[in-house]
Structure 1
Amino acid sequence: MRLRAGDILSGMREQTSCDFSALAVIDGKERCISWKWASGNLNDRYLNIRVRHGQGIEGEIIKVGRGMTWDKMDSRKANVHANYSIWLTERLESAYAVPVWIGKEMKGILLIGDRSPRIYEVNQRETVDRVATELADSMEDLI
């Protein structure tokens, strides 16, 4: 049975009660990240986002190799957030993203986001972490 990324993202969005969820794929050869699937998106512009390694939310996840939270209300980072493509395209105010690992290689980035300020509770972050692990098992089918 072929896994459908859109169904997984919709289910995760429902479980976490967030406005938006998306999965990006990391292309190691071209050294860029592109968003391939989304749920709760405002339009399809996310499909045109291609970010070089080291840039945006995607680059931060690659650098730290673990989950991270962003909140537009954090004044220290507010100007930085204004330059994040996925942030702008989907009009996000808050986000939580995690890497998707296949073995020891990061192959994707899984993100949930909201269009209003929000603090993600432990159970919501754990749901995203669990879905990232499940996606890793079938990522090859999705790419």
Structure 2
Amino acid sequence: MGDEKIAKNIAYHELVRTIHQQEDFDFVGVALQDATSWHKIRWQYAAGNTNQRFRKIILRSGIGIAGLVIRTGEPFAENDLAHHQYAGYMSQPITMIEHLTSAVAVPIFDEDQIVIGVLLAGYRQQQSVTAHSSHVLQEYLQQFQ
């Protein structure tokens, strides 16, 4: 593993930990496209997680919140995940495993402006995510890159 990849791994770990400590989100995670297959997306870094099951989630592009954000390159926000049109384990496994009721997710871009991952933050209680929540996550990403 190259020094650059090790540094990036440490940085993503610090990013989720920092957001979790400085903001009021119950869960913060980063999902990245798999280096071996651009069709696979994995949740790799998390803070505030209730267990390690998030690591077993493997999504395809367009599936789940991470897949949707990667496919569209647009932020996602939902305050009623249980009643979202794609609710359920097959469509939103991270929200089911972590018992999230609301979540916001923003795309992570590489230096060529290609979406390579997703930064997601959410709540387990009835707290709302807003456009400001998305903006906060994007600001953290800008500091990170």
| Percent identity of paired positions between Structure 1 and Structure 2 | 25
Q: Contact between 1:101 and 1:108, CA under 8 Å: does it hold in 2?
A: yes
**Paired AA for residue 130 in structure 1:** E
Aligned to 1:59: 67
Count of residue pairs the alignment pairs up:
134
Change (3 A) 1:106 1:43: same
Query: Structure 2: any 5+ residue segments left out of the alignment?
Result: none
Equivalent in 86, 103, 126 of residue 80 of structure 1: 86
Report deviation, 1:125: 2.3
Aligned counterparts of 2:96 and 2:81: Cα–Cα separation in 1:
15
Question: What is the match of residue 5 of structure 1?
Answer: 12
- Contact 1:22/1:37, CA 8 A, preserved across alignment: yes
Instruction: State the match for 2:52 in structure 1.
Output: 44
| Matched residue, 1:113 | 122
What is residue 127 of structure 1 aligned with on the other side? Answer: 136
1:127 is matched by which residue type in structure 2?
A: V
Q: Spell out, residue by residue over 1:85-121, the C-alpha distance to the aligned partner (whole angstroms, 9 max, x if none).
A: 1011111100000000012211110000111222224
Change (3 A) 1:73 1:29: closer
Q: Check the 8 A contact 1:45/1:89 in 2, yes or no.
A: yes
Structure 1: stretches of 5+ with no match in the other structure: 138-143
SS state of the match for residue 96, structure 2?
A: helix
Assess if the C-alpha contact under 8 Å between 2:20 and 2:28 holds in 1.
yes
| Deviation sequence 1:112-136 (CA, Å, 0-9, x none) | 011122222444322201122334x
**Partner amino acid, structure 2, of 1:129:** Q
Deviation larger for 52-61 or 26-35: 26-35
Q: Which runs of 4+ in 1 moved over 6 A?
A: none
Q: C-alpha distance in 2, partners of 1:114/1:8?
A: 18
Deviation at 1:41, TM superposition (A): 0.1
**Aligned-residue RMSD, C-alpha:** 2.2
State the AA in 1 paired with 2:44: K
